[in-house]
Amino acid sequence: MAGDGSVRRTADDVDAFLAASPRAGTLQAVDAALRAGMPGAPRTLWRGVFWGGTDQAIVGYGDIRQPRPRGADVDWFLIGLAEQKNHVSLYVNAVADGAYLAHRYAERLGRVKVGSAVVTFRRLEDLDLAVVTEMAARAYGPS
């Protein structure tokens, strides 16, 4: 999954963004789990219009060059954290042994929905943060 070209890195303060969210506690807890698994990874706020035409703010962890089926590769994040209207999304742009990590960890993540490269959940209690940290470490570490 890659942005449509209108989602861009910003210089916005990630901690201020997380603290200002209506789901601040949830986002901050997931942020801490991701950072524990990805020590030293860049953490950047991305903003813009995502595929499907939705305006998004996504905290991106790690930097990758994302291949596109058509057109040039794009700069993107390895894992992204975003608040949606009715849930929270974790975009996991990492593959191991030919499968997205989100699928590899799906059964252990808790009461979540898993798409190709996305994990969604409604409440923090539905997500196993220790497994999020493990998945993030596998995504960020050597394959």
**pLDDT for res 18:** 98
- Radius of gyration over alpha carbons of the chain, in Å? 14
* CATH number listed for the domain at residues 8-140: 3.90.1150
With CA atoms as reference, report the closest residue to 34 among 136, 141, 125, 106: 136
Question: What is the C-alpha to C-alpha distance for residues 121 and 130, in angstroms, rounded to an integer?
Answer: 15
With a CB cutoff of 8 Å and minimum separation 6, the contacts of 13 are 45
As a whole number, mean pLDDT of residues 4-28 equals: 93
Domain boundaries, the chain: 8-140
Confidence of residue 65 (pLDDT cuts 50, 70, 90): confident
**pLDDT for res 3:** 44
Token pair belonging to 35 = 């950072």
With CA atoms as reference, report the closest residue to 124 among 105, 110, 106, 103: 110
